[in-house]
Structure 1
Amino acid sequence: MPDPNSTYAHQLAGAPRRVISVKPVVLPAPAGRGEDLQVRVSAPATGGELPVIVFSHGFGWSMNGYAPLADHWAAQGFLVVQPTHLDSRTLAVPAEDPRTPRIWRHRIEDLTLVLDRLDVLEEAVPGLAGRVDHGRIAVAGHSWGAQSASVLLGARVLDPDGVPGEDMSDPRVKAGVLLALTGLGDDLTPFAAEHLPFLRPSFDGMTTPALVVAGDQDRSHLSTRGPDWFTDPYTHSPGAKSLLTLFGAEHSLGGIPGYEVAETTDESPARVALVQRLTTAFLRSALHPGDTGWRTAAAALESDPHPLGKLRSK
């Protein structure tokens, strides 16, 4: 990995900016959700034409998590929006709640609601109004959050007969970052197949450009396969995709949910730093055609004599 003090590393990351973060911003709940949607909005204190990243957290987390990513992206010039989904431990929705079977859909609807109300969120942060580029929007997510984000990119959930369900893709979304996204449903364990039937995706229609990030030591109790299960979103989706496989990484990919978090069993600041740099470079290039940062970052990883991962693109 490049020396973090090198000229190249600073050029790749860009000069970090001071960040303003506001929470909770509350959006009224649509029918059936029950709880109003609480959102955290983070943005650089200065600058205009800010591209947008809507980030979907993993199971049990909330708008308060994923500081290693959210803070970094905001400091690099993105508006980062983090909704709190109904499965968050902060809301304590019981398993027997009648909304539970639809939480996976509520998650996707949360992301769509954020896109619908970007103007409200923009007004909620002092000094942000008029600085957001509503034409440059990306979604990102980790684990279940990546599954939620992938649907806006064109992935679809299969019904019990294997027929793709509703198309909930969103043309406003121009790119995605999918971190530790689960693979095909044919490889679910019996428990997962019974209790998590929405984990049966088709990636055939996931045409929006995306970076898939997987750990080569990520072994899920939901799958009968090994870590290669998490590469399915890359393998089975058409064109304009890249796959970053992190060496030695488990499901937290080195600690992206937060610093010194109990769930992180593969803590690696260097690995997290690589995810920060490559996701930033990918999103800049995907949202600003002509930006060469992604090619530069990919070339640096390929030429690194001691790489922390490998990159493939198609």
Structure 2
Amino acid sequence: MRHSVEGSGTPTPVVSVGPVTLPAPDRGDDLQVRVSAPATGSDLPVIVFSHGFGWSMNGYAPLVDYWAAHGFVVVQPTHLDSRTLNVTPDDARYPDIWRLRVADLRQVLDELDLIEAAVPGLRGRLDQSRVAVAGHSWGGQTASMLLGARVLRDGVPGEDLSDSRVKAGVLLATTGTGGADLSPFAAEHFPFMSPSFSDMTTPALVIAGDRDDSPLSVRGPDWFTDPYHLSPGPKSLLTLFGAEHSLGGITGWTVTETTDESPDRVALIQQLTCAYLRSALCPTDAGWAAASAELIDHPGVLGRIDSK
């Protein structure tokens, strides 16, 4: 089959539709998603994106718009922790929000036909055999579960929530191990933040900032490299110099919580994630090999790449 995303090419106009509502009677609130797609092209691969804590399907335009303009269909669910839903800690669902987040991504995969039909002009253009997940911050942990990561309970890995439909992942500023590495606040409020990456076998690109000093951990910025170092290959790690948790501004243009605004850094993330996912979902594509080799040979001031 001839795929339509062999190279980066010229950006294509993007169609974005939301909310698309997926019935979820057992969830308490129906699942709402935003779908962004190139206006033209066929056999389009899919990225399911999990937002960080408090965000929604309407965030992360710098990444989503770029991916869609370069040949991907991006589906963004709004998780129950979104500020738009106001689910508070006294809600009975709150202790299981981390698990419900994973269920949201799986529901998107289950209902890609419905999603495709809900977007005018998209029917028949998806390649559902080429699916990736991506996520930022807590969304990175959510996405990692579909790649094979598990949550430890009393030191024992919990259930396997991986999904064979997912062929690759991008984990942006994704939290590391729990236990003694957590701050007292995180240990008290986020006991599920205790992942094991030893079974995360699906290929992934991990992106971490070397100044992402999180109040959730006592370790420092290297905590966010755990998904790379503690998982089996094939994996790649993009370490961004000078980057904090927003990695230069991936959550949105002129977002006030971005403390390390850097258009150059965001552009690098756009280009490298796009190249990585094209190559991961289409093995004949050599874009990632070329892009990563260029950064390895000329690391400059933005970052470096390690692979295994």
1:257 matched residue in structure 2: 251
1:281 matched residue in structure 2: 275
Percent of aligned pairs with the same amino acid: 72
1:200 matched residue in structure 2: 194
- Counterparts of 1:140-289 in structure 2 under 5 Å? 140-159=134-153, 161-186=154-179, 187-289=181-283
- Counterparts of 1:111-150 in structure 2 under 5 Å? 111-150=105-144
Contact 1:240 1:313 in 2 (8 A): yes
Q: What CA distance in whole angstroms lies between the structure 1 residues aligned with 2:165 and 2:229?
A: 24
2:11 matched residue in structure 1: 16
Q: Name the SS for the 1:220 alignment partner.
A: coil
Map Cα deviations across residues 52-78 of structure 1 (whole Å, 9 max, x no partner).
Answer: 000000000000000000000000000
Instruction: State which drifts further: 213-222 or 22-31.
Output: 22-31
Q: Name the SS for the 2:156 alignment partner.
A: coil
Contact 2:7 2:285 in 1 (8 A): no
Contact 1:12 1:277 in 2 (8 A): no
Q: Aligned match of 2:52 in 52, 58, 73?
A: 58
Q: Name the SS for the 1:184 alignment partner.
A: coil
Map Cα deviations across residues 135-165 of structure 1 (whole Å, 9 max, x no partner).
Answer: 0000000000000000000000001x21110
Shift of 1:302: 2.2
Q: Name the SS for the 1:133 alignment partner.
A: strand
Contact 1:301 1:307 in 2 (8 A): no
**Structure 1: which 4+ aligned runs deviate by more than 3 Å?**
none
Map Cα deviations across residues 186-235 of structure 1 (whole Å, 9 max, x no partner).
Answer: 30012211210111010000000000000000000010101000001100
Q: What CA distance in whole angstroms lies between the structure 1 residues aligned with 2:299 and 2:198?
A: 36
Q: What CA distance in whole angstroms lies between the structure 1 residues aligned with 2:233 and 2:32?
A: 35
Q: Aligned match of 1:306 in 300, 304, 307?
A: 300
Code of the residue aligned with 1:137 in structure 2: it is V
Q: What CA distance in whole angstroms lies between the structure 2 residues aligned with 1:303 and 1:283?
A: 21
Q: Name the SS for the 1:158 alignment partner.
A: strand
Q: What CA distance in whole angstroms lies between the structure 1 residues aligned with 2:187 and 2:236?
A: 28
Contact 1:179 1:213 in 2 (8 A): yes
In structure 2, runs of 5+ residues without a counterpart are 1-5
Code of the residue aligned with 1:39 in structure 2: it is V
Q: What CA distance in whole angstroms lies between the structure 2 residues aligned with 1:267 and 1:13?
A: 25
Contact 2:249 2:261 in 1 (8 A): yes
1:26 matched residue in structure 2: 21
State the TM-score, normalizing by the size of structure 2.
0.96
Q: What CA distance in whole angstroms lies between the structure 1 residues aligned with 2:216 and 2:226?
A: 14
Shift of 1:40: 0.1
Aligned residues: 302
> Over aligned residue pairs, what C-alpha RMSD do you find?
1.1
Shift of 1:111: 0.2
Shift of 1:15: 1.0
- 1:41 and 2:35 correspond: yes
Code of the residue aligned with 2:272 in structure 1: it is L
State the TM-score, normalizing by the size of structure 1.
0.95
Map Cα deviations across residues 21-57 of structure 1 (whole Å, 9 max, x no partner).
Answer: 10000000141x1000000000000000000000000
1:3 matched residue in structure 2: none
1:6 matched residue in structure 2: none
Q: What CA distance in whole angstroms lies between the structure 2 residues aligned with 1:107 and 1:71?
A: 23
Contact 1:12 1:297 in 2 (8 A): no
Shift of 1:300: 1.6
